[in-house]
Every structure is written in C-alpha cells, then in structure tokens.
Amino acid sequence: MKALSGTAYVILGIVGFGAQTGYDIKRIVDESIRFFWAASYGQIYPELRRLEQAGLIEGESSPVGARKRTEYRLTEDGRAELVRWLELPATVLELRDESLLKLFFADSLPRVEALELIRRRRLGHEEFLAVLRALDARPGDDPPFVDLVLRYGIAYGEFNVAWCKEQEARLAEATEKAPA
Amino acid sequence: MKALSGTAYVILGIVGFGAQTGYDIKRIVDESIRFFWAASYGQIYPELRRLEQAGLIEGESSPVGARKRTEYRLTEDGRAELVRWLELPATVLELRDESLLKLFFADSLPRVEALELIRRRRLGHEEFLAVLRALDARPGDDPPFVDLVLRYGIAYGEFNVAWCKEQEARLAEATEKAPA
DNA sequence: CGTAACATGTAACGCGTTACATGATTGG
DNA sequence: CCAATCATGTAACGCGTTACATGTTACG
C-alpha cells in the first residue's frame, strides 16, 4: 500500500470521531486544526474515494430528501492504519511562516516599516488568539487531546504576541535614541 | 507582472545580501530560514532564470577554472519588488505541523503512547534548538533582523520544549493516579 | 420568499520535493 | 588520490489551492 498523505490521516482521524460527511470533515477542520493543517474540498472528496477504495473507510448513502449525502465511518483497517501512523515518528519540524520570512529580510526596510512588520505579526496572532479563545469558550467538552492541542494553540498565540510586544518596545526605544 | 512565489522572494532577499550563486542561496537557506521556509534546487535554479528574465536579478558568468558558475545580483527593479512585497500584508497564519496533528488524534492511543508522542515532539524541538544555538554561536555578526529571527527561533524552540515538559509531567502524574 | 447552511464534486494550475544526472576543484 | 565541497541542472510526481459548477433544505 502506498503511503497516504497527511490529509488522508486528517480524514481518517476525523471520521474516527464519528460518522461524517465530506462537508462535516471540512467544517471540523476549519473549526479546529486549520491553523496547523488546512484542507480544502478539492482534496477531501477525492481522498474520501481513495480511502474507501483502500478499505480504510466505508461510505453509506444516506440522503436527506432529494439531497445526496454519504456518511462515512472508519473500518477496522482504517483505525489500524491511523494508529500505525500515529506511532510512526513525525517528520522533522518544518513550517512555512511568511511573516517570519519578511522579518528576516527587514533590514532592507527603514526602521519604522520594519517595526510595522512586527506590529502586523502581532495583530495577526491576536486575531488568531481571539478565534481560539472563542472555540475554547464553546459549551461541551472535547476529547482530552483535542482540547490539549487547542490549549497549545492558545499558548502559542500568547507566546507570539508577547514576543512581538517585546520586540516592538525594544525597536521603538532604539529608534527614539537614534532616529533615522 | 504575475505574482511571484514566496520562494522567489527568498531568492531576491538572499541575492540582495550580496552576489550569490544558486548553490550559495541553497546553503544560506539551509543555514538560516529552512525551519520556516525551505527551498530545494528544483525550485531555485528555474526560479533564478525566471527572475532574470523578469529583470529582477542579473546573472554574470564567472566560472572557476572549467567549472560553470553564475553570480547573480539584485537589480534596482528587484530591490523595489522585494520592498514592495515586504510592505504588503502577509497572508494569514497557516502552518503545517505534523507532530501537532498527531497529538490532535492521540485520544485513539493508549496513554503511554500518547505521552510518547509528546516526548518525541520535545526531542524534535530540542534538536532544533541545538542547531539554532550552534548557529547563534558562530563568529561574526548577522544583520539585525536576521539575528532577530534567529533569536525568535530559539525562543520558539524553548517555548515548545517547556510546553512539552509541562504536559509530560501532567500526563505522567495523571497516568500514575489512574493507570490504564 | 429569500438566504444561509448543507452537500458534492471537478478542472486547471502552481508550488515544491525527490530522485537523478553530471562534472570540476580543493584539501587532506 | 580520494573525499568533500562546489556547482548546475532536469523530469516526474504529488500535494494542495482556487475557481467553478450545481442543487437542496432549513429557517426566519
């Protein structure tokens, strides 16, 4: 069996949370893991088919009125594959962070604009934090590790906001002393 | 002019640091930004051509003996484009973090193995930290913002290691009280 | 009655990695 | 002389996004 993509495991994992449609999967991804693993319909629907063909999930047609609808559930093989993947060592840390990339090249900018870059990064993370906190405030409780990752996200956001604030203060001070 | 890829700006930025070959660019990426923006030869060389055709960089053949070698430098237009991009708002925060994804689905695992997941995450970040600290210890000084991003990386690594340790402790305690 | 939410899908495209291929030069 | 480093490149492939396309049902 060929190696599955990360997104395939996202689907296995979410379907494992309970019978779900492609639409559901997308919604759950958008409400939880999108910040560290996004997924689009363009991937989800084709992937659902592949996973079904591979016997890792099973789809059952359950239309609502005249509206097509397929509910998927995880098979034994599917759960085994999910667990197998979980136990495999994760690939090395590798992110894509455009705002950090810009900061890396900020020596090409006048100081005020470099400062603005950091400010924007902070704003982005503050917005991100607001979303996660709203999620955290929802009634009902998530499984322990789902919750753990949410709280990681919050801690991560707080870390970034604090870091940006510190650098903003430092830069502002330096700029005062030696104005460009 | 069509929008350029993130990697195109990586190249503009690094070429902006001084005349460089494709090989140099790759080395610099690997020694600095690879953790938040990697790049491979498969992208670098074709992209250098495109950027030259767009007039954003200029290549000059400067072979060493019989070995082909092209030195690139940033044109006026190239610098302007780099600055223009820097001033554009960065796209929303979106990362890909496989280890976090696994943690999100860790409720499917026995506690001991979930704990192992966190331990591995910590190990990964510790390794990452070691690399960055070695970079930090190099003689010579980088431009201020290059250095700032390096120090961000270190702070980020420390944050993650601390977070993992905390969760490991918490989980270990919980497992003791109610062993599976 | 209209709009938001539900639901499913495809085609084109771009980005990026991996694997492969080739060869010269430097330093031990 | 041999290994590491310098140096450049291509082809195939996979992943993922975007834009498009279509229609239903629930709710106010």
**Structure token digits, residue B57:** 């960089």
Protein-proximal positions, strand D, CB < 7 A? 6-12, 14-20, 23-26
pTM value?
0.92
- In the predicted model, what is the mean pLDDT of residues B120-132? 94
What is the reported pLDDT for A174?
A: 80
Mutation site for B-interface testing, chosen from A93, A112, A163 by largest number of B Cβ within 10 Å: A93
pLDDT digit string, tens, across residues B153-174: 999 999 999 999 999 999 988 8
Instruction: Find out whether A22 and A49 touch, Cβ atoms under 8 Å.
Output: no
Instruction: Find out whether B122 and B100 touch, Cβ atoms under 8 Å.
Output: no
**Out of A93, A102, A104, closest to residue B125 by CB:** A93
Would you say the C-beta of B67 is within 7 Å of strand D? yes
> Looking at the predicted structure, is the pLDDT value of residue A180 above 60?
no
d(CA B101, CA A135): 17
> Within chain B, where are the H helices?
6-16, 22-31, 41-53, 76-87, 98-104, 111-137, 144-177
- Structural domains for chain B: 6-87 (1.10.10.10), 98-177 (1.20.58)
Would you give the distance in Å from CA A37 to the centre of its chain?
Answer: 4
Q: Distance from residue A178 (CA) to nucleotide D10 (C1'), in Å?
A: 51
What is the reported pLDDT for B141?
A: 85
What is the reported pLDDT for A55?
A: 96
Mutation site for B-interface testing, chosen from A91, A145, A161 by largest number of B Cβ within 10 Å: A145
> Looking at the predicted structure, is the pLDDT value of residue A141 above 90?
no
Q: Distance from residue B137 (CA) to nucleotide C25 (C1'), in Å?
A: 30
Average pLDDT of the residues of chain A: 93
Amino acid in the structure at residue A179? P
Q: Cβ separation of B145 and A105 shorter than 8 Å?
A: yes
What is the reported pLDDT for A165?
A: 98
Q: Cβ separation of A103 and B152 shorter than 8 Å?
A: yes
